[in-house]
């Protein structure tokens, strides 16, 4: 167990001593060091005001203040972020209270019938750990933001230090290679590897994003041509900054680049984030419509992280919807998340969009995505982003192994 888990602080709220001790002893098994108990909602609130907890287990039926009220108070007064809801009542009631808590802004790691099982606790703690490490990573990223200068980025381009990696997108059925997504990489000689989130944001701030985009798109197109010469053909997905969409000349420029390489726009998918289409977006829509008219495919990226609604979605001439990792990650352990995912997939299908599940990291998530009839998958479970040369090796050797491994796992599942 890593150091981070040990430092987690947990509060178990249950009026029954037996139940409380059950949860506490399970937590101890997971080597959590700081585990506290509270006997009812009032007691819990006092403790939550005194010290900060990373996770609160809440029993729904308690004297004085019940779990429903406790959940509301925690959310309203921002007393904790993550909760697990437990009850001996029927699962649909527990689930609907979980949904209420989520819409109140709490992070519900799970909703379970009592007594909670060790495997459920394990899965929930894993999610919490992922969340915590993401938070500390984004803190770190915040700190290192602004270390780049405009000149750094221009140098990174002219010295060709900034390059592209490629991550396979596979058909859910049959695991055929449908395309690759180009992802920017920068191995800086002094600063080491720099995350694309950092240098793309910096390029946007310094007004050099179109230069960077133009440079990267050329690399991607050149690469696509060279793969074709090698005899392999698949779509190329390329990320566009939302800022580029306000550039009136973008559609023309991009088309000219593609024509220069004698490629067809319908082999290219341009990805734009969901946020680019929520809010005041008429110029963005105009650019997207032009690109679509020229034959490019358009993907809405990171769907599920922003606030685009169904109407905004239907206004965009998109061809593909990429379901963000936050919707997909650990979906098997979160029933309300599964419901959101399912309705999103159905909405995308109604709008005739190809669906792509991003960030598949394990077999269980893949099984669920398969059951929901999502069209394409992308994620570390199948392949990490890799250099262009590695991709050919991966296609030749690794893909067949992955298919075989999955077939065997599925056979085993069916037997059980
Ligand atoms: P994105 O477009 O959502 O790209 C997917 C990100 O998820 C990539 O991160 C990829 O490495 C990562 N990923 C893929 N599968 C998994 C998985 O199973 N688990 C996890 N945890 N992560 C997975 P990366 O390469 O760090 O890129 C981050 C973001 O930077 C991209 O998010 C995109 O918004 C932006 N970006 C990257 N390259 C470009 C570019 O050329 N142009 C623009 N405008 N943005 C770019
Ligand atoms: Ca993307
Ligand atoms: Ca994405």
Cα of 322 from ligand 3 centre, angstroms: 6
Residues with CB under 5 A from ligand 2 (ion): 239, 271, 301
Ligand 1 atom having least distance to the Cα of 324: 3
Q: Give dist(CA 54, CA 74) in Å, integer.
A: 13
Ligand 1 contact, 301 CB (< 6 A): yes
Q: Is the dihedral of CA 173, 336, 305, 5 positive or negative?
A: negative
In degrees to the nearest 10, what's the CA dihedral of 197, 198, 201, 203?
Answer: -120
Q: What is the mean pLDDT of residues 279-288?
A: 80
pLDDT in tens, 3-30: 455 578 999 999 999 999 999 999 998 8
Residue 410 has pLDDT above 70, yes or no: yes
pLDDT in tens, 58-82: 999 998 888 999 999 999 899 999 9
Ligand 1 contact, 197 CB (< 6 A): yes
For ligand 1, atom 12, name the residue with the nearest CA: 359
Q: Is the dihedral of CA 385, 386, 388, 390 positive or negative?
A: negative
The DSSP element (H or E) to which 88 belongs, if any, is none
Q: Give dist(CA 279, CA 285) in Å, integer.
A: 11
Cα of 50 from ligand 3 centre, angstroms: 39
Cα of 183 from ligand 1 centre, angstroms: 6
What pLDDT, on a 0 to 100 scale, did the predictor assign at position 378? 97
Least confident of 145-149, 161-165, 332-336: 332-336
Residue 33 has pLDDT above 80, yes or no: no
Q: What are the contacts of 216-221 at 24+ separation with CB within 8 A?
A: 216/162, 216/164, 216/182, 216/184, 217/254, 217/257, 218/257, 219/163, 219/164, 219/182, 220/164, 220/182, 221/257, 221/258, 221/260, 221/261, 221/263
Q: Give dist(CA 194, CA 112) in Å, integer.
A: 41
Q: Give dist(CA 201, CA 273) in Å, integer.
A: 14
Residue 124 has pLDDT above 80, yes or no: yes
Cα of 162 from ligand 2 centre, angstroms: 17
What pLDDT, on a 0 to 100 scale, did the predictor assign at position 2? 46
What share of the chain has pLDDT > 90, as a percent?
Answer: 65
Q: Which ligand is nearest to the CA of 196?
A: 1
Ligand 1 contact, 304 CB (< 6 A): no
Q: At 201, phi and psi to the nearest 5?
A: -60, -45
Residue with tokens 């609160």: 56
Ligand 1 contact, 196 CB (< 6 A): yes
pLDDT in tens, 190-231: 999 999 999 999 999 999 999 999 999 999 999 999 999 988
Tokens of 170: 């596979």
Tokens of 164: 């592209």
Ligand 1 atom having least distance to the Cα of 197: 30
- From the number of C-beta atoms within 10 Å of its C-beta (0-12, 13-18, 19+), residue 249 rates as exposed
Under 8 Å between Cβ of 114 and 317: no
Ligand 1 contact, 385 CB (< 6 A): yes
Residue 309 has pLDDT above 90, yes or no: no
Ligand 1 contact, 244 CB (< 6 A): no
Model confidence at 1, in pLDDT bands (50, 70, 90)? very low
Under 8 Å between Cβ of 101 and 85: yes
Computed over every residue of the chain, the mean pLDDT equals 90
Residue of 138, 156, 196, 363 best suited for mutating to test ligand 1, as the one with most atoms within 8 Å of CB: 196
């Amino acid at each position: 167990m890593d150091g981070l888990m040990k430092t987690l602080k947990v509060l178990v709220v249950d009026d029954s001593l037996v139940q409380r001790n059950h949860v506490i002893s399970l937590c101890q098994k997971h080597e959590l060091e700081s585990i506290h108990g509270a006997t009812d909602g009032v007691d819990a609130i006092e403790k939550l005001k005194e010290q900060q907890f990373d996770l609160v287990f809440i029993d729904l039926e308690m004297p004085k203040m019940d779990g429903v009220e406790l959940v509301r108070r925690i959310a309203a007064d921002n007393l904790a972020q993550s909760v697990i809801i437990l009850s001996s009542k029927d699962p649909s009631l527990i689930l609907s209270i979980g949904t209420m808590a989520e819409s109140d802004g709490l992070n519900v790691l799970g909703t379970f019938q009592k007594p909670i099982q060790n495997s459920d606790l394990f899965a929930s703690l894993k999610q919490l750990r992922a969340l915590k490490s993401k938070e500390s990573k984004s803190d770190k990223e915040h700190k290192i933001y602004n270390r780049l200068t405009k000149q750094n980025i221009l140098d990174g381009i002219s010295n060709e230090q900034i390059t592209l990696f490629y991550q396979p997108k596979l058909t859910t059925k049959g695991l055929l290679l449908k395309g690759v997504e180009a992802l920017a990489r920068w191995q800086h000689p002094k600063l080491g590897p720099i995350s694309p989130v950092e240098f793309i944001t910096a390029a946007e701030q310094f007004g050099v994003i179109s230069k960077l985009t133009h440079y990267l798109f050329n690399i991607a197109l050149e690469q696509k041509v060279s793969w074709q010469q090698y005899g392999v053909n698949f779509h190329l997905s390329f990320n566009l900054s939302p800022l580029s969409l306000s550039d009136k000349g973008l559609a023309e420029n991009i088309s000219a680049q593609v024509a220069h390489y004698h490629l067809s726009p319908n082999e290219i998918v341009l990805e734009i984030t969901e946020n680019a289409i929520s809010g005041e977006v008429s110029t963005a829509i105009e650019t997207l419509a032009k690109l679509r008219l020229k034959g490019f495919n358009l993907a809405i990226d990171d769907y599920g992280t922003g606030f685009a609604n169904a109407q905004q979605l239907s206004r965009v001439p998109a061809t593909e919807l990429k379901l963000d990792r936050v919707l997909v990650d650990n979906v098997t352990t979160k029933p309300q998340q599964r419901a959101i995912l399912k309705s999103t997939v159905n909405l995308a299908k109604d709008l005739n969009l190809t669906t792509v599940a991003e960030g598949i990291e394990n077999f269980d998530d893949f099984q669920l995505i398969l059951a929901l009839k999502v069209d394409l998958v992308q994620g570390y479970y199948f392949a990490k982003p890799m250099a262009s040369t590695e991709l050919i090796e991966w296609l030749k050797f690794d893909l067949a192994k992955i298919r075989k491994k999955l077939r065997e796992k599925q056979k085993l599942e069916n037997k059980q």
